[in-house]
Structure 1
């Protein structure tokens, strides 16, 4: 279970109830897997290492810690580090939450201006090891990383051949879904967002942000799932908003000529779906009409996101894992290594491999 799922609070009794359910049965690109299997049986089955994508300066008012944590909550550890350093919890930052049930490596930054760096070799917490201490001139902000390296072990596999065949397919890409952990159990976080949009006040900034992200992510997943169902996942429509893979800038397709299709096939550009917010969709013509049609029935979520200050953005439809490799430890156990850009979910790849 991810930290996001653990922290999703239940709606208090007496609050307005959501008007609809939000199922998480998004379509599979290669069909529902036939093999069963499990992961996260042990912390060492789910190893994640952050890739900041930049070098730390070695000087500045922020002390950065390269931390390995096993079976520990990111936010709890941040508070423990603040207490040890004698600073406020708000002065500890990190690029993102990491799963508690796993062996995860991530950077924390502590703002300690004009002070001697604490001796972090004296810091003690079960399952936590601080491997590096280095200063930097800026704090590590949420989302400030290039990506993550994963090493995930799948156990109790019932059909080795089916998994091997699926591994060959997923190398070509998988739907770039937001993981189910973002939505909470049974889509609770989306329901909570809907209730918030009808007037319920959420004072906790973390919960409010979590609900907004869940609603936005749900609309994105709906469009991606629909394009799979309609066999439009790899086939562009006139006006589709595409993104340069190298720099993430995007533009609507003015035509469907052979040269445009070649750019898509070579992954110079890629198809996208909307991250909903205020303003007009950046897709045009056929693609714009398609996205509007597929999101009918979710007007309250769209309006709520726009009212809360989110802007129209885009996200690639396809997630292509880098450096993907696998090795079988025995007939029922396989270890998969790969790299994903920031904001992408390992579970989106795993759901195409096993039930």
Structure 2
């Protein structure tokens, strides 16, 4: 399935067809048929003290948007929206469990049970000394089912083993680029055409889409070169030295050199003007791992249904894992900017 974005010219400006680590999948499956087919449990990775100025709510939601629920919490608590914290935006067409914090140093707490609806369930209430901030959690655990699989199911079994053993490319998901990839057209309007967006959060989302696109372009080239899961000369390796990294572009001198720098300079020259503009909008240059290793990966294939479970760190996408397994027929109707779910703290501009 090909993806491209046109800005009105005779040919598409941006391709969203990036290389596969193990070749294009030979099966297709129905994705997100119901919210229960995409389950996410947030793991904070730290203990809540039970004391402090911030109330913490553990909530299960079904088919609801994280930001919308945060506003409902603020309204019930009688506080400003920015007094409510959460670690990450979780998928809407899913069943998710995550934490919210509310700055509530004194006064009588509301009845938090009033948040409960047919789609929202309160699991736990406690307190902690600090606000919950974006990217502060340790991981997310996913349980995902694909239905009505068609194609080479015997080959799928081998691919599951490969993904578990060797990991997948750490792509930003298609949902990062908005409905039909429109965030890229908007990013170009800001970066190259001098356009303005009054909404600061929306503007930040477009700039993040541009950085993500450039990263994906570099990663795709390195997959084709066979260097995505190793290091190039002059590369910046991950802390464990397991693989190289790709650019999140911004101001500052390039963090790579030699062969790696030459490759990135060539790839990042298109779209023209993006890198120069990103250096002048207040973003600093950073690096992101090219390799994503899902942890606790377990799969079960029964008939035409596949269930996989795995954990991922903040800022990474479950769809990066799924795209190596199957062509996804997403029937949720939610292939838009609501998919900006797990942005790392330094890029969390939603």
- Shorter-chain TM band: 0.7 to 0.9
- With 104-113 and 114-123 compared, the bigger mean Cα shift is at 114-123
Q: Is the 8 A contact 2:87 2:132 kept in 1?
A: yes
Q: 1:300 aligns with which of 273, 277, 292?
A: 273
> In the aligned structure 2, how far is the partner of 1:17 from the partner of 1:205?
26
Kept in 2, the 8 Å contact 1:160–1:331? The answer is: no
- 1:40 maps to 32
Matches within 5 A, 1:75-154: 75-154=67-146
Deviations 1:266-292 (A, max 9, x none): xx4321111111011111111111111
Match of 2:157 in 1: 164
TM score, norm. by length of structure 1 = 0.86
The DSSP-based 3-state class of the residue aligned with 1:164 is helix
**Does residue 331 of structure 1 match 2:323?**
no
Cα distance in 2 for residues equivalent to 1:215 and 1:133: 39
List per-residue Cα deviations over 1:164-218 (Å, max 9, x = no partner).
Answer: 1110111111100000100113321121111012222212122111111100000
Alignment length, in residue pairs? 317
1:178 aligns with 2:172: yes
2:321 corresponding residue in structure 1: 349
Residues 243-286 of structure 1 deviation map (CA, whole Å, 9 limit, x = unaligned): 213xxxxxxxxxxxxxxxxxxxxxx4321111111011111111
Aligned counterparts of 1:125 and 1:230: Cα–Cα separation in 2: 51
Whole-Å Cα distance in 1 between the matches of residues 251 and 148 of structure 2? 46
1-structure distance, mates of 2:24, 2:196: 39
Runs (5+) with no aligned partner, structure 1? 1-15, 246-267
- Name segments (4+ residues, structure 1) moved above 3 Å: 16-20
| Alignment-derived partner of residue 221 in structure 1 | 216
CA RMSD between the two structures: 1.7
Check whether the contact 2:103–2:131 (CA below 8 A) recurs between aligned residues: yes
Structure 2 gap segments, 5+ residues each? 1-6, 328-350
Can you list the C-alpha shifts for 1:294-340, whole angstroms capped at 9, x where unaligned?
11223422122211111111111110110100123x30112101001
- Please, what TM-score do these two structures have when normalized by structure 2? 0.87
Task: Decide which of 272, 275, 299 is 2:248's aligned counterpart.
Answer: 275
